Amino acid sequence: MSILIDQSTKVLVQGITGRDGSFHTRQMLDYGTQVVGGVTPGKGGQVAHGVPVFNTVQEAVEATGANATVIYVPAKFASAAILEAAEAEIPLIVAITEGIPVLDMMKAYHMVRAKGLRLIGPNCPGLISPGKAKIGIMPGSIHRPGPVGVISRSGTLTYEIVHALTGLGIGQSTCVGIGGDPIVGSQFMDLLPLFEADPETQAMVVVGEIGGDEEERTAAFIKEHIRKPVFAFIVGHTAPEGKRMGHAGAIVSGNSGTAASKLQAFSLAGVPVANTIDELAEITRQGLSLLS
Amino acid sequence: MKIHEYQAKALFREAGIPVPEGKVATSPEEARSIAEAFGTVVAVKAQVHTGGRGKAGGVKIAKTPDEAARHAGNILGMEIKGSTVRKVLVERGSDIAREAYLAITMDRSSKAILLIASAAGGIDIEEVAAKTPEKILKLTTTTGTFSEAELAPVAQALFDDPGAAAQIVEITGKLLGLYLKADASLAEINPLVLTGSGNVVALDGKVTVDDNALFRQPALEALRDFDEEVPQEIEAREKGLSFVQLDGDIGCMVNGAGLAMATMDMIQIYGGKPANFLDVGGSSNPEKVVAAFKIILSNPSIKAVLINIFGGITRCDDIARGILESFQRISIAVPVVVRLTGTNADEGLALLKGSSLIPASTFAEAVVKVIEASGGVVREEMKS
């Protein structure tokens, strides 16, 4: 088992003929993902990487039966792409695009929610169920199938953590990069219950960063609702106040959003927080060995 | 992107939000003549992007033009939290009866536009929120409008005055309009004042614009004050890099914001001090590596550089080419530790063989090596 995606997921690529969309369509196909079609307005009728290209998401869904879509279109057009996918009622929408204005995302978020659909991202690496399918831009080779669910606000940091887990022989059920923007479609609290209900997942790793109060609220949520062990890692201890650390959402303002506050919240909720990536992999290994 | 108070107030004025009459001065003489023209008490206010101007002595009241000139002379050139004051706003003084707080921002938890209002204005709102949260009133909208029925009680609560409340309802609507039109992430009036004659006026103004929306806000982008930014940060933005200056001595070049923060944290945990945050981004363009080196090395405090790359989309061999090119094109006098993992790491490491770079195979090893190369001491408990 895994969450959200597996080998049966039929994936559409919005922006399939663009540089990034094209490159990652190839990568996803090579990993075994069922990419069933692409969308680029004006290029309907063409074929890319052996899959048909459509002018609209609606046409693509009708022709292919796609039940997931991944968006690689530029920031200016990305929220419109999310809305188009939502109009076509695609249950899982993954937005990789970075730099979408927050007001656009607010509208897109509420539209997706109102329709009962799920959005992952934007500004995220996507998600992968190792050995089954990947939707996004992460390198597939570092992952191994296994018992740990990973949820993270970062991209390359997640690869680093997965690499460390795999290095200790710990595989992953599903890894989800939720994105580094102030408004993202799915948060830790939306995904943890899915891992909690997934029989294959035995423990979860949560990777947070400075900015906002999501980690603090997640800590309280875990204490209340999650029984499987959760291990956490927080980055941004050295970040100064008022400076955006790359991600639009990663900014400390005043006393809010600091790494120290997030660390404390997790600790109070009984969630062990690692100081380093190696330590995170190690405490996860120890946690799993206690279960068996 | 932050803008100055005088720029925010120009936006307020355009939106129909009442603000005191004022003009910008860059010299005491100019401040004097503005005060003379007003012919009344004026406020002389430092224009910098940092908060705490008042406490730093950057806001003064002048009863005469001479006094205005004297205050301007003192305030211009003043350092406030690292920013040098280059302009002052000289404003017609207001007869303040009451002060309140009004702001619009994005609430990340409810994913909604949030109106924050409080009768306790003029002071640190975070402190009010922490100590007396009941004094903070909040309304949210996801559609971009507040109904009069929602606004009325909030407006009444600020000054407990029906005449003022009607004005506040109108100001709030205009502030929300401005927030949406400007793609703001914050539009704040602190204090919003009730004058002795019953008028509600925005005595101060702060507007921050969503960086991601600047592509469609050219008029606001033009308000950017380069003097308020670290030169390296400006250069980094132009080169498509994300850079923040810190006060340590170990330069960092990393791909990805999360990993870049983790690298800074690791350096500190191991006993070193990171000199910067630098995300080279997802592309593998060797030019970006050269630009990143230039920016990092322009800081005279740098004693060593750590390059930490986890190749995904980024190809390690491209980064290696960029590193080699940097060594040819610029003088790099400090030790450079390189750790390449992921896509094409072996190819990248092969390219770097025989160079003066210090290779490291793991994140932890790289951090230890860069601290030692910088002349620092690795914390005893981390040596295992």
Output phi, psi for B141, to 5 deg. -145, 140
For A160, nearest residue in chain B (alpha carbons) = B310
Kindly state the tokens that stand for B93. 């003084």
Q: Domain B230-382 class?
A: alpha beta
Q: For the CA atoms of B266, B271, B275, B279, what is the dihedral angle to 10 degrees?
A: -10
Whole-angstrom distance, CA of residue B255 vs CA of residue B345: 14
pLDDT tens for chain A, 292 residues: list them: 799 999 999 999 999 999 889 999 999 999 999 999 999 999 999 999 999 999 999 999 999 999 999 999 999 999 999 999 999 999 999 999 999 999 999 999 999 999 999 999 999 999 999 999 999 999 999 999 999 999 999 999 999 999 999 999 999 999 999 999 999 999 999 999 999 999 999 999 999 999 999 999 999 999 999 999 999 999 999 999 888 888 888 888 777 789 999 999 999 999 999 999 999 999 999 999 998 7
Chain B residues in contact with A180 (beta carbon < 8 A)? 257-258
pLDDT tens sequence across B179-225: 999 999 999 999 999 999 999 999 999 999 999 999 999 999 999 99
A75-87 vs A57-64: helix axis angle to the nearest 10? 50
Q: 3.40.640.10, 1.10.150.120, 3.30.1490.20, 3.30.470.20: which CATH number matches B21-92?
A: 3.30.1490.20
Q: In the prediction, which pLDDT does A171 show?
A: 98
The yes or no reply on domain B96-221 and CATH 3.20.20.80 is no
pLDDT in tens, A158-173: 999 999 999 999 999 9
Can you give the pTM of this predicted structure?
0.94
The residue extents of the domains of chain B are 21-92, 96-221, 230-382
What ipTM did this prediction achieve?
Answer: 0.94
Taking a C-beta distance cutoff of 8 angstroms, is the pair A97, A123 a contact? Answer: yes
Contacts of A103 in chain B (CB under 8 A): 106, 180, 183, 210, 213
Q: Which two tokens stand for residue A189?
A: 């609290």
pLDDT band for position B283 (cuts 50, 70, 90): low
Domain B96-221 and domain B230-382, same fold? Reply is: no
Query: What average pLDDT does range B370-378 have in this prediction?
Result: 96
**Contact residues, chain A, for B274 at CB < 8 Å:** 238
pLDDT at position B125 over 80: no
**Structure tokens of B242?**
């994300």
Mutation for testing the A interface, residue in B80, B106, B108 having most A CBs under 10 Å = B108
CB contact under 8 A, A157 and B258: yes
On chain B, the residues whose CB falls within 8 A of the CB of A254 are: 126
- So what's the pLDDT on residue B179? 98
Place of tokens 């981390």: B382
Pick among B2, B123, B313, B319 to test the A interface (most A CBs inside 10 A): B313
Which of A24, A110, A225, A247 is flagged as catalytic?
A247
Calculate how close chain A gets to B251, using CA atoms only, in Å. 14
Contact state of A152 with B262 under an 8 Å Cβ cutoff? no
Q: Which residue, A164, A124, A136, is CA-closest to A148? A: A164
Q: Report the 10 Å Cβ neighbour count for B209.
A: 21
Q: What is the pLDDT of residue B286?
A: 85
Check residue B384 and give its pLDDT: 64
- Report how far apart, in Å, the C-alpha atoms of B332 and of each of A50, A134, A137, B245, B295 are: 48, 41, 33, 19, 12
- Taking chain A, what is the end-to-end CA distance rounded to the nearest angstrom? 19
Tens of pLDDT, residue by residue over B146-180, are 999 999 999 999 999 999 999 999 999 999 999 99
Range list of β-strands (E), chain A: 10-14, 34-39, 47-48, 51-54, 68-71, 92-95, 118-120, 126-129, 133-136, 145-152, 172-177, 203-209, 230-235, 273-274
Is any Cβ of chain A less than 8 angstroms from the Cβ of B266?
yes
